[in-house]
Amino acid sequence: MAALELQCPAKLNLLLAVTGRRPDGFHDLVSLVAPLAWGDTLRIEAAAKLSLACDDPAVPVDDTNLVLKAAAAFRAATGWSGGARFTLTKRIPHGAGLGGGSSDAATALVLLNALAGTALTPAALAPVAAAVGSDCALFLSGGPVVIRGRGERVEPLTPEVRTRLRGNRVLVFKPSFGIATPWAYGRLAAEAPASYLPAAPAEARLAELMQAARGEPMGPHLFNSFEAPAFRKFVALPVLLGRLQVRFGLAPRMSGSGSACFAFLPDDGPPVAAVEVVVREAWGESAVVVDTKLL
């Protein structure tokens, strides 16, 4: 079989409400997630064994990488015993809250499914993805979704809301530093229960955002439980976001557990070049800045 290649899209959490901690140590959440038309690229070709190569030397290519964990989970779920050589082109930075590793893993499952000829549906692949990582399954949808539980419960949006979200232009920007997801969840747990948004208000916020997505400005309805602890420790984040709001009228927010942030760019909004200058003035030339769209 010829080599196959797919994009592994980054994602944004337009709403991310952590509602509490579960007895198993995971956290429950309610989130509206949208993939981006930008991300990593993963290539697969048949081989004698499973292996991974990556153009970023900082990325581990052993069994700790989610791509190979996904391959192991696929083998266990399907009984397929073949081999594959993966080649990962990395663009999504680590510690960004953009779902890079999870997207790579979900894409690996899709590629393996094609290579193995098993023809598993996305619904059949979803539990395999969820076993690899809490937010892996959402990337099988190909568009914006709502996730609940620890991230494994994926619910499609109505066609109206899905169409309204797709194609929205966003600027994604990340400082040179990342934020470790375990640290972020640990801070929420340490500050519980005040740090959690109970399920009922979380669902109400989701309903408000879904309504706004039908035609109203979404900025006032964006929400992220992780912003409070992240902004206290990493002051460079709220300082820049406040500056972008005052100077350009944008409504920037943080994605996931950070440190990447984003802002919707309206048609009559400021030039991207002007916003990028402000970002780099605040965070330095090492900041990642990407002009992209929601898928």
- The CATH number for 147's domain is 3.30.230.10
Enter the pTM of the model. 0.95
Instruction: Please identify which residue in the block is written with the tokens 């070049």.
Output: 273
Q: Does residue 128 share a domain with residue 8?
A: yes
Residues forming a β-bridge with 288 = 174
Q: Does residue 41 share a domain with residue 120?
A: yes
Q: Does residue 222 share a domain with residue 141?
A: no
- Evaluate whether 92 touches 36 at the Cβ level (below 8 Å): no
Residue-level pLDDT at 113: 96
Of 108, 140, 159, the position where a domain reaches its end is: 159
User: What length is written for the chain?
Assistant: 295
- Evaluate whether 281 touches 152 at the Cβ level (below 8 Å): no
Amino acid symbol at 178: G
User: Which parts of the chain sit beneath pLDDT 70?
Assistant: 1
Q: Does residue 147 share a domain with residue 60?
A: yes
DSSP 168-183: -EEEEEE-S----HHH
Residue-level pLDDT at 1: 66
Q: Does residue 193 share a domain with residue 154?
A: no
Sign, CA torsion 123/155/137/7: positive
Query: Which domain range does residue 229 map to?
Result: 166-293
Report the C-alpha gap between 45 and 75 in whole angstroms: 16
Residue 225 CB burial class (10 angstroms; 0-12, 13-18, ≥19): buried
Report the C-alpha gap between 39 and 93 in whole angstroms: 9
Q: Does residue 74 share a domain with residue 176?
A: no
Q: Does residue 227 share a domain with residue 287?
A: yes
Of 124, 159, 194, the position where a domain reaches its end is: 159
Q: Does residue 174 share a domain with residue 227?
A: yes
Buried b (16+ CB within 10 A) or exposed e, 15-48: bbbbbbbeeeeebbbbbbbbbbbbbbbbebbeee
Q: Does residue 98 share a domain with residue 79?
A: yes
Report the C-alpha gap between 23 and 143 in whole angstroms: 31
Q: Does residue 174 share a domain with residue 155?
A: no
What are the tokens at 247?
């100077």
The number of domains in the chain is 2
> Which is nearest to 40 in space by CA: 87, 72, 74, 82?
87
Of 116, 142, 159, the position where a domain reaches its end is: 159
**Residues recognised as catalytic:** 11, 135
Q: What's the order of all strands across the beta sheet hosting 169-174? A: 253-254, 261-264, 169-174, 288-293
What are the tokens at 28?
């429950």
Q: Does residue 90 share a domain with residue 29?
A: yes
Q: How many CA atoms lie within 13 A of 67 on its CB side?
A: 27
Residue-level pLDDT at 122: 85
- Evaluate whether 184 touches 165 at the Cβ level (below 8 Å): no
Q: Does residue 176 share a domain with residue 49?
A: no
- Evaluate whether 226 touches 184 at the Cβ level (below 8 Å): yes
Report the C-alpha gap between 80 and 148 in whole angstroms: 30
β pairing state of 4-21 and 27-47: antiparallel
CATH of the domain at 172: 3.30.70.890
Residue-level pLDDT at 126: 96
